[in-house]
Structure 1
Amino acid sequence: MTRGRSASVSRHLGCREESAGRSRVQPTEPCRSVDRVANSAVARSRQAAVVYNPTKVDLAKLESAAMDAAAKAGWATPLWFPTSADDAGQNATRIALEQRVDLVIAVGGDGTVRAVTEVLRSADVPLAIVPAGTANLFARNLGLPIGDLAASARIAFSKVERAIDVGVVTIVRNSAEPDEEHAFVVMAGLGIDARMVKNTSKSMKRAVGWLAYVGGITRSLPQMRALRLRYRLDDAPEQSLSAHSLIVGNCGGLTGGFLLMPDAHPDDGILDIAALRPRGPFGWLNVWNRVAWQNRVVAKNGIGRRIIELGPDMPDVTYLTGRTLHVRFERPEYFQLDGDVFGEAISIFAWVDPGALRVKMPDES
């Protein structure tokens, strides 16, 4: 579908450079107003915006793949919006939408995808993903290709879309600070999960990828303690809980094929919650057995699930599901969203926005 543009457009926030056949918008640099009046009789080609993390990509290869895929699909040359230390992608996406683009391509890790999603969930514009991060959990959970730039670019301009849920969380820090609302597409977590993310070296992530989280876990062990909290799921009464980690998931899969929440689906309109509650000297071994063996292997078929159901209860991992979750902490706790730490919170309210995001998927025909 194409659409004409008849209005005069003034751009004050972004500056477009024309170079080597590409258009790049630099959202962080002001430039003079440029008025353009398009002929309303001429329908414009569809256009994509590429919001990319410049520290994660080979820009020359990315530009070549994206422009080639756009041309083959009959789309106009993409616009380019880099993220920065001050903008994880939200502002770049807002400026892209001001250009009336038909598609936003997020290039980076889960943090970049999360930032772009935070803006797109309120816009009727689809998202395409070119995974270029450490874990790329959202892409992995959706079954998108990892490390294949050409395939990712082709999928971006495919006609197949999937409606995906978006997790939303309101973070309360203290009475003196305003509440913050953020989106997540994979998981939100607190406890040892958030401390692991906080204690993982960014330089090690660039050097060895997801294995850097092993170091983060090691540095978190001396700080490990049980969280004491109270939670309310949907309209149920408030309950108390003690756990070393509480994870709220839109997706259930982890790096390495491990499955933390086997029943989590990104399009079921439900949040899946896992409370890790290791007890006794073999508690963490039981947690590992559940995630690495039972969830990953045994529960993959009906017989395996039946064996787990008939087996002894494993209180070291507790699973819950709901559409909303209120959590109050005994004291401020670190909190992470899709692999980025968001400081400390004293309470959170998480909820699911069903089907709020349209994601480009492979054309299987």
Structure 2
Amino acid sequence: MSSHPEAETAQAPSAVLRRAAVVINPTKKTEVDIRTLVEQTCRDEGWAEPLWLETEEDDPGHGMARQAMAEGADVVIAAGGDGTVRCVAAELAGTDTPLGLLPMGTGNLLARNLDVPVDDPAGAIRTALTGTERRIDVVHVNVDKAVDSDIFLVMAGLGYDAVMMGDTNTALKDRVGWLAYVDAGIRNLPGKPVKTMISIDGGKPFARRLRSIMGGNCGKIMGGLEVFPGARIDDGLLDIMTMAPKGSLGWLSVVAGLLRRGKGRGTAVEYFQCKSAEIWADVPQDFEMDGDHLGNATHLALRVDPRALRIRMPYGKKDPAILTNPTP
């Protein structure tokens, strides 16, 4: 054994630096060099060089997130739109690996709800590395009795809202952002309601004639519009909203119902809170999750997985309409 303690100290291994993995959608174009910015921010914060994983056409993020965890990443940053975030979160849910957000999409719905900067990539990266960590719910969705379920973090919808997502003009979206959804929404206002059966928390199914039914994990969508009043992303509850316009002025009743937040006698807009829900439509309807149009469906089974996902967000008091405990 050495008689010189200072020699032992000199030979002690240096501390292992934390390492981020970035799962990035390479089709998203930005005004700054995201890779250079991430690498520089990691150096500035004392982190190791990040692991860089690009999504592919046949894998929008699942395999990359699994690889990131297998390589021991301390945080996995989803760099892309809401679809990339959803795929990465699906793999991180139920694990101890936290999710960071680097918004690069049009909607960036989860980031907006959690106050993650959507127009400040350097700020978003710092938040992913050093922000406060909270646990949020995820919602599992089984579509048309498929063997495997999927998840969403913000919302899922059957009917009009999904039609709007699927019919959005891509070129217009590139020019004006989320306002392109307004254009699609106006163009698709005409249409017939569909008989829909709904079961809340395993209860007896009841019937409605609907243009749209949506499940929400948190309240806000594009433009800051709050469509699920009282929804909190960590309360262990799923919020269901139905839209049933009737007659030529039916959409005015829907708008009035949204403004009243579902209060009153009208049935143009109804709200339910639950831990699980099941939905059957008489005919196939357009289906979307977190703003991504995913085809058609006639049956959805939704179930909340409470506080299943660790996520990084900015420090400071949060909107109490989003979190049950607004302070860390």
Residue from 288, 297, 300 that aligns with 1:348: 300
SS of the equivalent of 1:44 reads: coil
Aligned to 2:239: 272
Residue from 105, 117, 120 that aligns with 2:92: 120
The answer as to whether partners of 2:197 and 2:208 remain within 8 angstroms in 1 is yes
- Deviation string for 1:37-79 (max 9, x for gaps)? xxx9665321110111112243862223322222232211111
Greater Cα offset, 206-215 or 350-359 = 206-215
The answer as to whether partners of 2:155 and 2:217 remain within 8 angstroms in 1 is yes
The answer as to whether partners of 2:30 and 2:104 remain within 8 angstroms in 1 is no
Give the partner amino acid of 1:106.
A
- Deviation string for 1:103-134 (max 9, x for gaps)? 10011111111111111113210001111111
SS of the equivalent of 1:358 reads: strand
Residue from 284, 292, 297 that aligns with 2:251: 284
Give the partner amino acid of 1:221.
L
The answer as to whether partners of 2:115 and 2:314 remain within 8 angstroms in 1 is no
Aligned to 1:232: 199
- Deviation string for 1:214-257 (max 9, x for gaps)? 332244335x2212121211132121121110000001112112
1:147 aligns to 2:122 (yes or no): no
Rate the CA distance shift 1:165–1:320 in 2: closer, same or farther, 3 A. same
List 4+ stretches of structure 1 deviating above 6 A. Answer: none
Higher RCO, 1 vs 2 (CA within 8 Å, ≥6 residues apart): 2
Give the partner amino acid of 1:81.
L
Give the partner amino acid of 1:49.
A
Give the partner amino acid of 2:102.
V
Aligned to 1:158: 130
Greater Cα offset, 134-143 or 183-192 = 134-143
Aligned residues: 306
Partners of 1:208 and 1:324 in 2: how far apart? 36
Paired-residue identity, %: 39
The answer as to whether partners of 2:102 and 2:121 remain within 8 angstroms in 1 is yes
Give the partner amino acid of 1:55.
T
**What TM-score do the two structures reach when normalised by structure 1?**
0.78
Matches within 5 A, 1:74-85: 74-85=46-57
Unaligned runs of at least 5 residues, structure 2 = 1-11, 318-328
- Deviation string for 1:266-319 (max 9, x for gaps)? 11100000000112332211222343x445xxxxxxxxxxxx85xx42321000
Aligned to 1:196: 164
Deviation at 1:363, TM superposition (A): 2.8
Greater Cα offset, 84-93 or 45-54 = 84-93
Residue from 241, 250, 273 that aligns with 1:321: 273
RMSD: 2.1
The answer as to whether partners of 1:188 and 1:249 remain within 8 angstroms in 2 is yes
Give the partner amino acid of 2:194.
L
Partners of 1:225 and 1:109 in 2: how far apart? 31
Give the partner amino acid of 1:334.
D
Partners of 2:307 and 2:135 in 1: how far apart? 5
Partners of 2:236 and 2:196 in 1: how far apart? 25
Give the partner amino acid of 2:217.
N
Greater Cα offset, 203-212 or 238-247 = 203-212
Give the partner amino acid of 2:121.
L
Partners of 1:184 and 1:321 in 2: how far apart? 17
Partners of 1:326 and 1:272 in 2: how far apart? 13
1:92 aligns to 2:44 (yes or no): no
Give the partner amino acid of 1:349.
A
Greater Cα offset, 52-61 or 65-74 = 52-61
Partners of 1:364 and 1:217 in 2: how far apart? 35
Partners of 1:59 and 1:91 in 2: how far apart? 27
Aligned to 2:176: 208
Aligned to 1:245: 212
Partners of 2:98 and 2:27 in 1: how far apart? 24
Give the partner amino acid of 1:287.
V
Residue from 320, 331, 337 that aligns with 2:283: 331
**What TM-score do the two structures reach when normalised by structure 2?**
0.87
